[in-house]
Amino acid sequence: MHIRRYDGGYSRRHFLGQMLRGVLATGVLMPLYKAMAASGDITKAYPDELLSLDAYTHGKIKSGDLITADNVDLVADLMEPAKLYQVRKLGRQLKVVPTTTDVMRLSPWEYLEATFRNKGRARFDARGNVVNDDGKPWIGGSPFPDPQSALEVFAGQTMSWGRHDASLYAFKEYDLDPDGSLAYRYEGAWAELSPIARVSMDPKPYWPGHEDKLRYQSIVFTAPNDFLGTSYLNIWDYDQNTFPELYGYIPAFKRIRQFPTDQRFEPLVPGGSLYLSDAWAAGDPLHTWGNYTIVGRGPLLAGISGGWNPGHPNWEHSTHGGKDGQMFWDTEVELVPETIIVDAEPVKFPRAPVAKKRVWFDARTLLPVAMVSYDRRGDVFRSFDGAYGLYEAGEKSVMDGAHPYWSWGHVHAFDVQTGRMTRLEQVKEVSGGHQMLVNNPDTYERYLTKNALTRLARS
């Protein structure tokens, strides 16, 4: 039982006061990191009003309720502007679920364990890259779990997108017109592999001979027909001041070619609203963006659990809204007690249509739970919000070694100015027989080499 000795405005005053003093110390009642390290639970760090939407709204909205245009004003200050606009104007609905207090359910178990184990060992080297205390590449987990700056908040996310050593996400993409009609559909697989900071997959923490790389990442489209076999391979240098190498297979060229890689603000496919730069809210090398600034702190409604749909054999999700009921994913949101809001500017993209992006990070895990970008006039441009979760529900589960798989379930990428929506979902399998994989060493040979692109291609 938590004693209610703080009034409803306490936490707001706390966050505001820290912002005014330029202090970043997560947790309200006690340091968040200390609470999590002690018990893996966050309840001692926050007052009741931040641990339950029921408490926050004084019972007006509680778990199991739907947030709609009719009641969204009660929680308007718990939403980023794009999501609020979608609920108010476009008929988006959000189902409320209880706040997750067990931090080990908020990211892969091994990643969190390494985060706690390695706390305090990360630093920036002379080029601004995160290194271990011995000067070598980072050894795993979130490097700055108790961040002191906006750059530290962003650095960990850029280093490990999916928080696994290797992932293959089978995905489906749906691109919708402003009226909600489905215009384009794509299927494919997205692969990520970390050669450093490995916490699950041998060899750990480094893959010998690959320590100068941060990430191997590829995407292959398996549908529709005109994109069949289209694939791109990004090889990220560990130095976050350089752009990745980009190789691609485009069906028209029938071969693997190298492509320029600095244009990252275009849709990947016709009709899409998703940019390469959007990936995990940190799709570009850390120092190609700059002026990282913490602009706010506070609670947020976000989908950090319930992102998996075990009710569908292929994990596909249900939708609502728009002309055909397909505009939005059915999304479960919960009150995230504390987010750190960070702005960043694309300093190495002088003609990018984006002037800045604003990302809400869950203070517990530094996981990005929402992103909004602004155009050069300062208007809201696009938004990116995902739903995560453990792939565990009752007796059903998807295992990642000894623990349930944790990952994203679905994503909205929304162009506020045109009204076009891109929905992405992680599914079990897509055409071509590509199935979700996690921490599987074969991911590299099967998806992340030029030879792999040759196989994935159709010639």
Per CB under 8 A, residues contacting other proteins are: 175, 182-186, 209-210, 213, 222-226, 228, 235, 242-243, 245, 251-255, 257-263, 265-267, 269-273, 288, 347-353, 375-376, 418, 420, 431-433, 442, 445-446, 449-452, 454-455, 458-459
Shortest separation between residue 101's beta carbon and other proteins, angstroms: 40
Rounded to whole angstroms, the Cα distance separating 152 from 2 reads: 32
Distances (CA, A) of 145 to 367, 385, 436, 444: 11, 22, 28, 29
Residues 6+ apart with CB under 8 A from 20: none
- Long-range contacts from 14-21, C-beta under 8 angstroms, 24+ separation: 15/296, 15/297, 15/298, 15/338, 18/297, 19/294, 19/296, 19/297
Shortest gap between Cβ of 194 and other proteins (angstroms)?
14
Q: What letter does residue 114 receive in the DSSP assignment?
A: H
**Minimum CB separation from other proteins for residue 296, in Å?**
26
The closest alpha carbon to 362, from 35, 107, 139, 7, belongs to 107
Residue 156 or 248: the one with the smaller Cβ distance to other proteins is: 248
* Count of C-beta atoms within a 10 Å radius of residue 444: 18
User: CB 292 → other proteins: shortest distance, Å?
Assistant: 17
Consecutive H or E run containing 217: strand 213-223
C-beta closer to other proteins: residue 55 or 279: 279
CB of 352 to other proteins, least distance (A): 7
d(CA 112, CA 101): 14
Contacts of 240 (CB under 8 A, 6+ apart): 127, 128, 129, 158, 214, 285, 286, 287, 288
Nearer to other proteins, 186 or 406 (CB): 186
* Alpha-carbon distances, residue 303 vs 12, 113, 429 (angstroms): 22, 22, 23
Query: Among residues 125 and 212, whose Cβ is nearest to other proteins?
Result: 212
Q: What is the maximal distance between C-alpha atoms in the chain?
A: 69
- Strand 166-176 with 437-438, pairing: antiparallel
21 vs 351 by CB, closer to other proteins: 351
Nearer to other proteins, 291 or 418 (CB): 418
Please report how close the Cβ of residue 12 comes to other proteins at its closest, in angstroms.
Answer: 36
Closest contact distance (angstroms) between CB of 215 and other proteins is 13
Return the number of the residue (116 or 349) whose C-beta is nearest other proteins.
349
Please say which residue, 135 or 350, places its beta carbon nearer to other proteins: 350
Q: Least distance in Å: CB of 414 to other proteins? A: 13
Q: What angle do CA 224, 226, 227 make, to 5 degrees?
A: 70
